[in-house]
Chains A and B, each alone.
Chain A
Amino acid sequence: MRTVTANDGRMLARIIHLAHRFGCTYTKVAAQHTGADYRMEFAFAGPGDALRRLDAQITKLLDDDRETMG
């Protein structure tokens, strides 16, 4: 399970697309708008190497997401 907090709610779609690209599936997706940002929970399944790469990419996306773009 990975919990993510993002400014941009579209991060949900981006992460799902990434999971597909890496050949992973998701067993749980939940999202909630908390006012200032979005809280998302994901559970993924797939090959260990793909899951590790997916996790690294999500971390990078969240780093860029910290920048507020209006």
Chain B
Amino acid sequence: MHTRTGAAIVLDTLESLGVDTVFGYPGGAIMPLYDALYDHRIVHVLVRHEAAAVFAASGFARSTGRPGVCIATSGPGATNLITGIVDAMLDNVPLVALTGQVRSTVMGTDAFQEVDVAAITHQVTKRNVVVRSVDQIEPALRAAFRLATSSRPGPVLVDLPTDVLRAFEEARAGAAAEPAATRERPRADAQSLDAAVAALQRAQRPVLIVGGGTRWSGATEIFRSLAARIGAPIASTLHGLGCADPGDPAYIGMLGMHGWKRANLAVQNADVLVALGMRFDDRVTGDPAKFAPNAHTIVHADIDAAEFDKVVHAHVKLHGDLRETLVALDHRLARVTLPSFEEWRAQACAPHEQLPRDDARDGHLSATDFLDALFAALPEDAIVSTDVGQHQMWAAQRVRASHPQHFLTSGGLGSMGFGLPAAIGAQMAHPGRTVVAIVGDGGFQMSMAELATLRRHELPVKIVLLDNRNLGMVRQWQELFYNARYSATALPDNPEFTTIARAYGIEARLVDHAEASAPSIKRMLQSPGPMLLHCACYPHENVWPIIPSGKSVDDLMETIPA
């Protein structure tokens, strides 16, 4: 028999659950946990703002499929996590947030750095819990991991009063570390599976839409196999990128607001739509009343029954774990003959379609040209994170991710400041891989202090900063939809980013003309350490095509209206 503190129990339990890396920032109430971390095997990554801790944990989770863990103290530490927690909720990222809390005896007295983080995060976590006694720590953490990873993944918060962390428990010597159990998953029923097969047998112009549920259920391989069997065009949501083989001739790219025209037109003309692990986000559907108007059958597969008919009515609902659903569907399809969709596929795939683009003027560097050169040079297993804005959409249009864990982006919440910390999390999980953070000048300035984290942990993250001296996406919308009234979007006073990077001890290079792109990218990828490429880009380059918010593919724009 031996005794452990609550803090030691936290770390031992995390370790028994397979956690080897956590991201956090210390403070008063969480100090007992940091004291225990001092000589523990779990690696702690010290960020420079709690928001980066939760985004880094998210990047870790998104690039591995394993839960990410972040730590913050009570009060402002805990509230600084909230954006990242909501981000994880909307993007279905398994995440466990540990927050310090004031002593149990002073909770409710407005004590220093006291905030009711459980109440604040109640609506934006799968669950949360305030641990009231030391013997509740281990069961609470195990439940948190089960919840974060089961069914539709998401964030769970465990609030730990400082006295609970300091308290001692009589521990069972040699207590077995039970693995986190997987909760029972729903399974698509046979009748619905048969209906899906029948719809495909009747189809003339089917389209598959692959979404982020495919990545979280580990269904990429079976999806590709099933897609090959069906032979229909494949469109992807933002979070589905990498699920389809980018080299598959049936793959028609991302659909939605900034998706490929061919993908949106294919969905528009489809008679059968098979939507897999996606939630018909408004950035995908535009006006739902005009979405897929020719589809007589929409098949929707998802683990979350609350997604069915939420935005778009589905005629066939496959409620279950997506991987199991696709396996079952594949078995059924193997026993039937489907029509040939070759002619439709050839028509829908429009292999010669180019993304419309603005030409950079006055000798400026084009951001899209730069990204084309970057993606051509990246190794196949490179992990790319993005921030939020124009660069995110340009990257999503062009990325040829060979696996969904290779492209990390904040989709549902669209959180600026995500890109660099997410790359830090991914690099911690994959120390030997090339990890690139593509960021804009707006978002980078929300997370720039994490350059210190790169330096501290010697993380060789490559930062591609596409600086157009504007909050570009908002500027674009102002240009298109607000009579070019550029309210608060110009950033002419941006700092010299290369100087800032160097001040943190990070190699940096300015790229301000097209000819410098290829050698700079080569230099960056060869660099053994972190590096920033500051790309000074043409400020008025827009993201094309665009389907204005709430509109349909009929309203798709490929240039500024005359």
Contacts and interface: CB of A to CB of B under 8 A. Distances in A.
B306 A64 contact: no
Interface string A14-34: 100110000000000000000
A56 B305 contact: yes
Interface stretch (B125-133, B230-238, B436-444): B125-133
A64 B359 CA distance: 51
Nearest to A13: B122
A53 B139 contact: no
B172 interface: no
Contact of A67 (B118, B147, B308): B147
Contacts of B122: 10, 13-14, 17
Contacts, number: 51
B347 interface: no
A64 B156 CA distance: 11
Contacts of A64: 126-127, 147, 151
Interface residues of B, number: 25
Interface in B117-157: 118-119, 122-123, 126-127, 129, 131-132, 136-137, 139-140, 143-144, 146-147, 151
A65 interface: yes
Given A59-B305, A60-B305, A8 B127 contact: yes
A69 B306 contact: no
Contact of A53 (B118, B136, B146, B306): B306
Q: Give the size category of A's interface with B.
A: 10 to 19
Tell me what chain A mostly uses at the interface: helix, strand, loop, or mixed.
helix
B309 interface: yes
Contact of B146 (A8, A14, A18, A67): A67
B309 A67 contact: no
Given A8-B127, A14-B123, A69 B305 contact: no
B169 interface: no
A68 B306 contact: no
A52 B309 contact: yes
Contact of B139 (A14, A57, A70): A70
Interface in B241-257: none
Most A Cβ at <10 Å: residue of B122, B131, B132: B122
Interface in B301-319: 304-306, 308-310
A69 B304 contact: no
Contacts of B335: none
B140 A69 contact: yes
Contact of A70 (B143, B151, B305, B309): B143
B352 interface: no
B183 interface: yes
Interface string B282-293: 000000000000
Given A18-B123, A56-B305, A67-B183, 19 more contacts: A10-B119, A14-B122, A14-B123, A52-B309, A53-B306, A53-B310, A56-B308, A59-B305, A59-B306, A60-B306, A64-B147, A67-B147, A69-B139, A69-B140, A69-B147, A70-B129, A70-B132, A70-B139, A70-B140
Interface of A: 8, 10, 13-14, 17-18, 52-53, 56-57, 59-60, 63-65, 67-70
20 contacts: A8-B127, A10-B118, A14-B123, A17-B122, A17-B123, A52-B309, A53-B306, A56-B306, A59-B305, A60-B305, A64-B126, A65-B127, A68-B139, A69-B129, A69-B140, A69-B143, A69-B147, A70-B136, A70-B139, A70-B143
